[in-house]
Every structure is written in C-alpha cells, then in structure tokens.
Amino acid sequence: MRYVWALLGLICVGLGLVGIILPILPTVPFMLLAAFFFARSSERLHNWLITHPTFGPPIVDWQTRGAINPRVKRISTISIAVVFGISLALGLKPWLLALQAGILSLVLIFIWSRPNY
C-alpha cells in the first residue's frame, strides 16, 4: 500500500507543477495532497516536500493553522474570475454557467474564510 500512496503523491506533485504554468490547475491543493500521501508512504519524500523552500511553507501553515497566505487568496480569486470570464466569453450554456458560478462561489467562500498567516 505504501507504493500506492507514494505513486499518488508523485502524481499530485506532477499536477501541482503543471499548475504553476496553467492557472486553471491549482498548485497548493495538489501539494497538500502530496504531503498527505507522502506522510503515509515515505518519510524522505514527506520531509523533502515540507522543507521545500517554495512548497513547504504553505503546507506547514495549512497543517498547523489551516491558514492561507493573503497573496495566495488574491491570486486564487483572480484566477477564478479569469476562468469564469473565459467561460462567459465562450458562451457556455446558462445552466452550465450557473453551476460553475455556484461551485466557484463556494470555493471562494472557503478560501476567504480560512485564517491568514
């Protein structure tokens, strides 16, 4: 089972790295998942991830306080607005836009209800 957890962690790290380039794909949630999977599979990979200079601090803040950096909150909000704007520009069906708006609104509520660090 440890190999499955490790593989899932590596997949999440890969998706998180892709998310650095693609604003539609979030980076931090995938790194949080990777930390979760690595904690169950590989102490070495887990330590590497939580001590990483870029990815480590948000993970540790989330694990200790459930906190999100205010800068990340703003970037997330802008990304969500851009994605929804693209959907509007593409002329998606109203029911699909309504569904997307509802889900994205819940995501924003969650993000902004988390404490700052």
DSSP 11-41: HHHHHHHHHHH-TTS-SHHHHHHHHHHHHTT
pLDDT at 20: 82
Domain ranges (residues) in the chain: 2-65, 70-113
Q: Is 66 left (phi over 0), alpha (psi -120 to 50) or beta?
A: left
For residue 49, the tally of other CB atoms under 10 A from its CB is: 23
Contacts of 62 (CB under 8 A, 6+ apart): 28, 32, 68
pLDDT at 23: 67
pLDDT at 112: 93
pTM value is: 0.71
What is the distance between the terminal CA atoms of the chain, rounded to a whole angstrom?
A: 35
pLDDT in tens, the chain (117 residues): 899 999 999 999 999 899 888 766 778 888 999 999 999 999 999 999 999 998 888 888 888 888 888 988 898 899 889 889 999 999 999 999 999 999 999 989 999 999 987
